[in-house]
Amino acid sequence: MFDVLVYLYEHYWRPDACPETGMLARKLSAVGFEAEEISEALTWLNTLQEMSLEATLEQSADAVRVFSTTELDHLGARALGFLQFLVAARVLTPRQREIVLDRVMAVAGEPVDLEDLKIIVLMLFWSLGTEPDALILDELFVEDEERLIH
Q: What is the pTM of this model?
A: 0.77
- Burial readout 107-120 (b: 16 or more C-beta within 10 A, e: otherwise): beebbbbbbbbbbb
Q: Which amino acid is at 21?
A: T
Least confident segment among 22-26, 51-55, 83-87, 92-96: 51-55
pLDDT of residue 11 exceeding 70, the answer is yes
The mean per-residue pLDDT over the stretch 86-113 comes to 91
% residues pLDDT > 70 (the chain): 86
Domain ranges of the chain: 2-147
Q: What is the DSSP string of 82-115?
A: HHHHHHHTTSS-HHHHHHHHHHHHTSSSSSPPHH
pLDDT at residue number 55 = 59
Q: Tell me the per-residue pLDDT of 35-89, one tens digit each, with 9 for 90 and over.
A: 999 999 999 998 988 887 765 556 566 667 899 999 999 999 999 999 999 998 8
